[in-house]
Structure 1
């Protein structure tokens, strides 16, 4: 009998299904531990921001002492640097512990939830009779669940830190840079807070460029994960066939099947490589150019004698910090795409398991097939016969 066509859910539906399960970590009886770690991370972030603010002003005082060739002041600033550096180092180590502890505990909770849902009520054997995107469930639980819990912690902390950094250092740029007088055809034009205007415009330009060149990255990464999981599944089936643990597929040679799967992996990898190359072009260019832009913007006021050497270094450092904070989206676009692809794969498995429950208890025929194998030779994952091949609404990955 023909199976009904499979209509792939959209990304919003997938992410909502993922969060419905993953958010249980923050709502259960042991959620107080997660929230305690979150409070510790935020407190550490605030203290680190205070330390960074102190280091920014230390830059000003230190380079002003260099400009004056004041040896005694240089020694005093060197001594002042020691506690600032020690505090920054200690807070960084503490934040690494708290962040990785949160990631580890969230992953353990979600993995246990997924394993329970997959194995309970014989769902893992009945799943084969449900159409949908649920190939290699063990890989999705082991790998995609890890990325789907690791990356949100990194991204959320990075976003919060960026917002707090902008709020803190935008004032430094405004006060140190002040206004800039520009002469145009004998007319003097005053630009207030010109460093702030420049960093906002520059960050918007980078973000727009990133969106333009990497708009297909999420779909490419998701297809890359699917192809890799397919290759592993076929390899596992071939090994089990050789060991007598599974029936071989007599319709196609194992070498031909795994060769085709490997070819698909390499093809999608090539597309993925081009996407990352284009994204790296933007991010690395920004890394090289941003400090120079900050210094060049301060140069007119330094040459006019209205800004000291220390203030130039302080403003340039603040420009880099604020631009990096504004540019959080650009720097983390690849991580966002990777998280979305992993969360979508976990959600697709959850939806398929939901469909197992919706189909009702396993029939005697299904139980017999699961226990003894079907009458027809089992197909290697990824192979479908013409009679039951599902149709999907997803389009092939763009090769642009």
Structure 2
């Protein structure tokens, strides 16, 4: 398969950290046990071929005593030595097979747990997730890559790796047996010993080559199918998350068109997948069916000539099938390898995108510790992700306890400046200096409300245990959410349960509860009525007298609660 070496390098880059991690010894020990059990299954298959030979010979000879001994306790064969009974071999086979599957699944979940934690941590580290959400370069649907591709990679890697190892061990174990069962044949008056081995090799090599020719289009199609399925699922999630907005706009028809378009892409690619799979299945099914009878055909001349017994014929067929199956591992596993390759590509792309985001983490306005008590932004120049300039050399100084409001037309860059002051905007330059040891709280227009109890939502991002019951009730009461005071321990989807105005009140309750030294509000009261907005701004100035406040707002009434007003126009921040 083209690019298989690259796929192996990428797969090893993803897998290697786990096998050299703090869990390496337990993981390696568990893998060693699984491998040994796998080898045990191969060994029992070897024993069964000799048992099969003796069993069919007992049928041919009508030897009832040998027949019953081979079924139960076993017997001593003059040629092969002691052969255990089928019941003994079958019982051991079942025990080993169950243990092998159980321990392999244990290794799978442990590896998945570690890899999921590592990818999630890297995705969140240095706000790589935020930069990727802005650029969407090199990755799409990170939720799918972590939730679906990680277990797919772990399961497929173990399954294919152990399958390949079993095939190699089977080949080594059975080739000698098949060689001993083969007559020598003459080709151009040259004796060819072990001809059944060479026939199996040629048959499998031809099948592998033809399988690749027929199925090589499967990798890109499988990759695209995973991507399109994730896009469709993402659109469905958006409808669920924005149900109210869609209902208010009566936008069902538009959403149906979008969902229909996304699903048509899924169906179209699925049809392409069907076509490739149909061709591949035609060939592999035919290859497998011929493989059933093929060993009988090549061994039949020796049987009809009386050189081998019926048991030897069945053993030859069984051993030939094992050798041919080992040689044909690639044929039988082609679809699984294609799916694995697509998964490796998606995970590798994701890890590269995260690494690139981390490499650019230092870009954007630099945050540092201020020399004095004031918050100072100097020479801040911001641009959009596509490089388009937005703000030019903005300067801002806010003293403790001072309130500054920034106004400007929509799209002028106010919210981008808000993100730069928070230290998260990665496109631009300049310096934002914040006094050491002071806490800042940023409240956007649409506040973030985490999953969990209302108590956790109010205290976020702090631990609720840091605040008393009285403090939590007071903060909610001051923000106009008295009715929620009795529901602090209630777990709900609060982001959907609360209205837009209630969500903004909840965010302001956080500010009143946490009392940060610096408070940044980006249209944080836009969903409130003017009277409530003025009351809450008055409470903020009254309850947080030492807090420096920077507000972004449109309503002129908000300005009276601030000491200074700045206006952002044509990329320039200047006094209004």
Same fold, TM-score > 0.5, yes or no: yes
Task: Report the counterpart of residue 75 of structure 1 in structure 2.
Answer: 68
Structure 1 residues 150-299: aligned runs within 5 Å: 150-180=155-185, 190-244=191-245, 253-299=254-300
- Which stretch shows the higher mean deviation, 273-282 or 319-328? 273-282
**1:63/1:309 contact within 8 Å kept:** yes
1:127/1:14 CA distance change after superposition, 3 Å: farther
Q: 1:89 to 1:338 in 2, by over 3 A?
A: same
Residue 15 to residue 189, structure 1, CA distance change in 2 (3 Å): closer
Partner of residue 480, structure 2? none
2:149 is aligned to: 144
Shift of 1:25: 1.0
CA distance in structure 1 between the partners assigned to 2:260 and 2:207 by the alignment: 41
Residue 419 (structure 2) pairs with residue 367 (structure 1): yes
* Residue matched to 1:42: 35
Deviation at 1:359, TM superposition (A): 2.3
- Deviation (angstroms), 1:50: 1.8
Mapped to 2, the partners of 1:141 and 1:166 lie a distance apart of 37
- Name the count of aligned residue pairs: 361
Give CA deviations for 1:223-270 in whole Å, capped at 9, x if unaligned.
Answer: 00010111111222233222359x99x9x9322222211110000000
> Any conservation in 1 of the 2:128–2:354 contact (CA below 8 Å)?
yes
Alignment partner of 2:21: what SS?
A: coil
Higher relative contact order (CA 8 A, sep 6+): 1
Q: Distance in 2 between matches of 1:143 and 1:215?
A: 24
C-alpha distance in structure 1 between counterparts of 2:157 and 2:10, whole Å: 16
- TM-score normalised over the length of structure 2: 0.59
TM-score with structure 1 setting the length: 0.83
CA contact (8 A) 1:173 1:315 kept: yes
Q: Is the 8 A contact 2:204 2:328 kept in 1?
A: yes
Q: How far 1:209 sits from its partner (Å)?
A: 1.0
- How much is the aligned-residue C-alpha RMSD, in angstroms? 2.9
User: 8 Å contact 2:128–2:361 — kept in the other structure?
Assistant: no
The structure with the greater share of residues assigned to helix is: 1
- Find the aligned partners of 1:15 and 1:268 in 2 and give their Cα distance: 26
Q: Is the deviation greater in 327-336 or in 41-50?
A: 41-50
- SS of residue in 2 equivalent to 1:200: helix
Given that residues 52 and 88 in structure 1 are in contact (C-alpha distance below 8 angstroms), is that contact kept between their aligned partners in structure 2? no
Q: Gapped runs of 5+ residues in structure 2?
A: 73-84, 366-415, 426-443, 447-521, 524-576
Residues 1:180 and 1:366: Cα distance change in structure 2 (over 3 Å): farther
Matched, 1:27 2:20: yes
Give the number of the structure whose alpha-carbon radius of gyration is greater.
2
Task: State the distance in 2 between where 1:167 and 1:355 align.
Answer: 45
The alpha carbon displacement at 1:84 in A equals 1.1
Larger strand share, 1 or 2: 2
Assess, with a 3 A threshold, how the Cα gap between structure 1 residues 305 and 18 changes in structure 2: closer, same or farther: closer
Give per-residue Cα distances to partners, 1:26-69, cap 9 Å, x unaligned: 00111111101111012112222221111100011111111111
Confirm or deny: 8 A CA contact 1:130 1:355 kept in the other structure: no
Give the Cα separation in 1 of the matches to 2:9 and 2:41.
34
Quick check: 157-166 or 353-362, which moved more?
A: 353-362
